[in-house]
Amino acid sequence: MHLGVDSFVAAVTDPRTGRRVGPEERMAHLLEEIELADRVGLYSFGIGEHHRPEYYDSAPPVILAAAAARTERIRLGSAVAVLSAADPVRVFQQFATLDLISRGRIDLVVGRGSFTEAFPLFGLSLADYDELFDEKLDLLLRIRGSEHVTWSGRHRPALTGQGVYPRPLQDPLPIWVGVGGTPTSFVRAGLLGLPLMVAIIGGEPRQFAPLVDLYRQAGAQAGHAPERLQVGLHVFGYVADSTQAAADTIYPGWHEMFTAVSRERGFRAPTRAQFDATSGPDGAFFMGDPDTVADKLQRISAQLGGVDRVSIQMTNPRLAHEDLLRGIELLGTEVAPRVAAG
């Protein structure tokens, strides 16, 4: 199981001083975080895509290019690229260019995204939510498979044999499908033989086992080799020297973040009891000291029939830069070796 970090590049208020960290300083902090993840041996670092005031990640390829120039070994990728609201030609060109800059260290994870702001921003209708993704994923895969593409669809002008350049160093460029909890999304990824990145933001991870089984069954029925059917998890979490320290450090920002989302979506405000349950042995939040987090990773992997990759999302609007660096350090130097040892 490979371990990594995902970031939504959240705007941060320093919990010690109450000072709002400006976007320029936050970007500098982010690049320090990615450099540290590379140094401590983590496998991957992903950047999300949002078009909201509390996040600075609306242009992931730009951030990833800066990170590629500062790192040597770590894989870099999207978490996720909102393909429904993008032009697949440009997405492929951007990530192929990133692949060349990084010398073959790029993963492209595509999905619909968990927020909807990108649709009106780019003049798209939510009524086409499913069709947009299906059509654009089809085009993206055709571009990956062939330098010259002939294709037509409803949401983009046709291609009549034009070439798409540059071509990536990796052949093929790894393309993962990011999914939530919709069975058809798991089946689609399996039928296409694409690796799967499952976003688990609530409930119990073991509840996803039937959906992961559905993915593997669909892939097998389509004739794809088992090794092609990789499963990754995108989860919230944080590692500290003790589980109590992890909870005390993370809870204020967790409460702020999920209170805002709950208000938008008409849910009840989150409580400390919910946080404790979500952070417990069976919850979706991977939080605690290194032993606790490593044990949970191994247990959840077994429950899901084996997991190839886990990316821990540490975005938090009340997490000091120094505390985030410590969490990344512990994930790489303490948690990853424990997981590798089995």
CA distances from 161 to 94, 273, 316 (A): 20, 58, 45
Please report the domains of the chain, with CATH numbers, ordered by start residue: 2-174+181-326 (3.20.20.30)
pTM of the model: 0.96
* Angle, alpha carbons 176-191-141 (nearest 5°): 50
10 Å CB burial of residue 165 (0-12, 13-18, 19+) is exposed
Residues 6+ apart with CB under 8 A from 161: 148, 149, 150
> How far apart, in whole angstroms, are the C-alpha atoms of residue 186 and residue 179?
7
Q: What is the pLDDT of residue 113?
A: 81
Where does residue 120 fall: left (phi above 0), alpha (psi -120 to 50 degrees), or beta otherwise?
alpha
State both tokens at 136: 């654009």
Please give the Cα distance from 98 to 105 (Å, whole number): 8
pLDDT at 10: 95
User: Strands 175-179 and 159-163, how do they pair?
Assistant: unpaired
Instruction: Return the closest-CA partner of residue 92 out of 35, 40, 138.
Output: 138
CA 262 to CA 124: how far, in whole Å?
25
Residue 6 in 3-state DSSP? strand
Lookup: tokens for 27: 């970007």
- Of 28, 19, 23, 25, the C-alpha closest to 58 is 23
pLDDT at 261: 83
Of 176, 138, 143, give the one whose Cα is nearest residue 154.
138
Residue appearing with tokens 């086409």: 128
Do residues 108 and 175 lie in contact, with contact meaning Cβ atoms separated by under 8 Å? yes
Beta-sheet pairing, 148-151 with 159-163: antiparallel
Q: Can you list the pairs that 63-67 forms with residues at least 24 positions away whose Cβ atoms lie under 8 Å? A: 63/9, 63/27, 63/30, 64/98, 64/102, 64/106, 65/97, 65/98, 65/101, 66/31, 67/31, 67/34, 67/35
In angstroms, the Cα distances linking 69 to 38, 61, 291 are 12, 12, 33
pLDDT on residue 257: 87
- pLDDT in the model for residue 214: 98
pLDDT value, residue 269? 85
Strands 309-313 and 2-7, sheet pairing? parallel
> Which residues pair with residue 232 across a beta bridge?
197, 309
Kindly list the averaged pLDDT for each block of 10 residues, start to end, along the chain of length 342. 97 94 98 98 98 96 98 98 97 98 98 90 94 97 98 96 98 97 96 98 95 98 97 97 96 90 86 91 96 98 98 94 98 98 89
